[in-house]
Amino acid sequence: MTLATTTEKKLLRVLHIGVSNRGTWPLKNCTPATGFAPAALCDVSASALATARQQTGLGESACFNNVDQAFAEAEVDCAIVCTPTMLHVPLAKKAIAAGLPVLIEKGMAPDWTSATDLVRTARAAKAVVAVAQNYRYYGGEQTIRRAIHDSSHCAYVGPVHLLTYTQQRVRPEPRTLTYPFASVWDMSCHHFDNLLCWLGPIAEMTAQSWRADWSPYQHDNNTSAHILFQNGTHVHYIHTHDAARSAMEIQVHGQRGALFRNEDKITFNQRPLEQFGSRPIVEVAHEEAHGEADLLRDFYAFIAEGIEPGISAAKNLETMAACEMMVRSITQRRTVKRTELPE
CA-to-CA dists, residue 28 to 12, 37, 56, 103, angstroms: 15, 10, 9, 15
pLDDT at residue 106, as a whole number: 94
Question: Which three-class secondary structure string do you get for the chain?
Answer: CCHHHHHHCCCEEEEEECCCHHHHHHHHHCCCCCCEEEEEEECCCHHHHHHHHHHHCCCHHHEECCHHHHHHHCCCCEEEECCCHHHHHHHHHHHHHCCCCEEEECCCCCCHHHHHHHHHHHHHHCCCEEEECHHHHCHHHHHHHHHHHCCCCCCCCCCEEEEEEEEEEECCCCCCCCCCCHHHHHHHHHHHHHHHHHHCCEEEEEEEEECCCCCCCCCCCEEEEEEEECCCCEEEEEEECEEEEEEEEEEEEECCEEEEEECCEEEEEECCCCCCCCCCCEECCCCCCCCHHHHHHHHHHHHHHCCCCCCEHHHHHHHHHHHHHHHHHHHHCCCEEHHHCCC
pLDDT at residue 343, as a whole number: 83
pLDDT at residue 264, as a whole number: 93
| Low-confidence stretches of the chain (pLDDT beneath 70) | 1-8
Cα distance between residue 107 and residue 219, in whole Å = 18
Identify whether the C-beta of residue 303 lies closer than 8 Å to the C-beta of residue 143.
no
pLDDT at residue 6, as a whole number: 45
pLDDT at residue 8, as a whole number: 66
Dihedral sign (CA 239, 90, 113, 291): negative
| Cis ω before 59 (30° cut-off from 0) | no
